[in-house]
């Protein structure tokens, strides 16, 4: 259908605000059922959403290319080439997302910022003209945006960037400071150190990965520092000041003031729901923390015909959660209406350092605090004999850990810091969801050589711990 109508008004059965993973899934499914669907996306640079444009896909592409660089490859040339390759993939995915939906029957894509004028109507600025779109059902899928904290000089610095801006810049920073040691900060520290940057991570917490058990966190930190990444925890950044050659970052730690000189500062302190300018008040949609659209367990806002899915509803900020949100919404629009957010069990997470750290379920600390008598199976990857793939690809770093209920033999959680962890963790998550015991997983037959074979050896070492 036509991309957009410049002026006037449109009527739709379903209006989707935001072209992300969840919104486009709802749009495609409802259009196949004969519903008239309109998708509004603020920017033509964001067709497909955060993941393929400024998130998962370009960052994981850089993870891959950074690990391909040989010591003899010039760092700047290799990085610039890598950025071009990643951008080419992004452009292909972006155009593919747009063409797949805009070319479909019953779907129109409108490009421009949308603002609610009442609970059923939005006004869209299309190249300076106003277009009014009304719909019976509305899905908000506007995603999230980076948080730049109010640290003196940080926002004003010419050297401050967010992750999207950093990946767009073809110039490799010689000295990179990352403020924030969460998932994104750790991932980008690993990427840019491998490309050849000097990297310093400044985090206010007492240690990295505070939600993980101490042995898991220590193994991850050892890999990062072993690659030459400087990690400063307990650091409160107090000021950023531009200089003739870069920027000075000042921070306090243990009561003392410190400074570092850098070329680029990555603010990696999280993302907030993107609702500014959306006019939720005009729609009668209540807002929760940090501007998130408040939703119930079926992702309905305070207006029952308006749903909010993905990052904008304040839930976990992962593409696969946004997609699962779309399945909940579709179940309520055209299904049995039974699915709800609390149905989610054993949702995995991955920190894409190298090797990746993937986790699911309870840590040992949390399991014991919850009253479980636990068994633990844990080993450094280098000591797991039945994991030959690690030796074949020369990546024996890491640590694997399972937490098991001592009475039922049910798997409570796992932390896998190893090659292929982002894939292995899905098998573990499936086992938890379907009640497959640790013994079942231990005695499974796995292809060879594969990383999954480690389960045979590792789970045979489970021993009771604690009281």
User: Which of 364, 348, 369 is closest to 463 using CA atoms?
Assistant: 364
Single out the catalytic residue among 65, 305, 349, 448: 448
- Please tell me the total number of residues recorded for the chain in this structure: 467
Tell me how far apart the 2 most distant CA atoms of the chain are, in Å. Answer: 70
According to DSSP, the residues that pair with 142 across neighbouring strands are none
Omega into 241 within 30° of 0, i.e. cis? no
CB contact at 8 A, 6 and 129: yes
DSSP structural state of residue 47: T
Q: Which burial class, exposed, middle or buried, applies to 445 when counting CB atoms under 10 A from its CB (0-12, 13-18, 19+)? A: exposed
Distance CA 410, CA 188 (A): 35
User: Which of 250, 244, 238, 245 is closest to 263 using CA atoms?
Assistant: 245
Phi, psi of 377, deg, nearest 5? -120, 115
SS3 annotation, 370-439: CCCCEEEEEEEHHHCCCCCHHHHCCCCCCEEEEEEECCCCEEEEEEEECCCHHHHHHHHHHHHHCCCEHH
Any residues with CB less than 8 A from the CB of 379 and at least 6 apart, and which? 399, 400, 457, 458, 461
Distance CA 380, CA 357 (A): 13
Any residues with CB less than 8 A from the CB of 181 and at least 6 apart, and which? 201, 202, 203, 205, 208, 231, 233, 268
Structural tokens at position 108: 């129109």
Question: Is 258 known to be catalytic?
Answer: no
Rounded to 5°, angle at Cα 110 from 106 and 115: 120
User: Where in 18-147 does DSSP place strands (E)?
Assistant: 37-41, 107-111, 114-118, 121-126, 129-140, 144-146
Phi, psi of 320, deg, nearest 5? -70, -25
3-state class of 199 per DSSP?
strand
Residues annotated catalytic, as ranges: 448
């Amino acid at each position: 259908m036509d991309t957009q109508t410049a002026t006037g008004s449109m009527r739709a059965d379903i209006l989707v605000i935001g072209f992300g993973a969840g919104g486009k899934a709802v749009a495609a499914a409802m259009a196949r059922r004969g519903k008239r669907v309109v998708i509004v996306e603020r920017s033509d640079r964001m067709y497909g959403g955060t993941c393929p444009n400024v998130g998962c896909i370009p960052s994981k592409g850089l993870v891959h290319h950074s690990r391909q660089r040989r010591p003899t490859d010039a760092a700047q040339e290799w990085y610039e080439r890598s950025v071009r390759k990643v951008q080419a993939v992004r452009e292909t995915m972006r155009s593919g997302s747009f063409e797949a939906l805009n070319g479909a029957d019953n779907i129109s894509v409108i490009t421009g910022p949308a603002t609610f004028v009442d609970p059923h109507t939005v006004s869209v600025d299309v190249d300076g003209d106003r277009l009014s779109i009304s719909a019976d059902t509305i899905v908000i899928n506007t995603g999230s945006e980076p948080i730049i904290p109010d640290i003196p000089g940080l926002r004003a610095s010419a050297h401050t960037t967010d992750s999207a801006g950093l990946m767009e810049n073809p110039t490799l920073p010689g000295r990179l400071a990352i403020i924030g040691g969460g998932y994104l900060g750790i991932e980008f520290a690993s990427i840019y150190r491998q490309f050849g940057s000097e990297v310093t991570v400044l985090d206010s917490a007492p240690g990295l990965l505070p939600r993980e058990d101490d042995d898991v966190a220590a193994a991850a930190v050892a890999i990062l520092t072993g690659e030459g990444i400087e990690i400063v925890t307990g650091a409160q950044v107090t000021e950023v000041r531009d200089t003739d050659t870069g920027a000075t970052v000042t921070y306090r730690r243990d009561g003392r003031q410190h400074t570092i000189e850098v070329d680029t500062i990555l603010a990696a302190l999280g993302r907030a729901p993107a609702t500014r300018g959306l006019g939720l008040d005009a729609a009668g949609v209540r807002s929760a923390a940090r501007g998130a659209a408040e939703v119930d367990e079926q992702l309905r806002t305070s207006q029952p015909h308006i749903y909010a899915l993905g990052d904008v509803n304040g839930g976990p900020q992962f593409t696969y959660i946004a997609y699962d949100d779309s399945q909940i919404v579709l179940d309520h629009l055209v299904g049995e209406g039974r699915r709800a957010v609390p149905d989610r069990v054993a949702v995995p997470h991955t920190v894409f350092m190298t090797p990746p750290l993937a986790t699911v379920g309870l840590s040992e600390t949390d399991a014991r605090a919850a009253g479980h008598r636990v068994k633990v199976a844990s080993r450094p990857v280098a000591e797991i004999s039945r994991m030959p793939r690690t030796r074949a690809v020369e990546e024996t770093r890491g640590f694997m850990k399972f937490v098991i209920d001592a009475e039922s033999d049910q798997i409570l959680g796992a932390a896998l810091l190893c090659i292929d962890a982002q894939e292995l963790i899905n098998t573990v998550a499936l086992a938890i969801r379907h009640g497959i015991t640790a013994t079942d997983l231990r005695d499974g037959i796995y292809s060879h050589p594969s990383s999954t074979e480690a389960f045979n050896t590792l789970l045979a070492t489970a021993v009771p711990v604690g009281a």
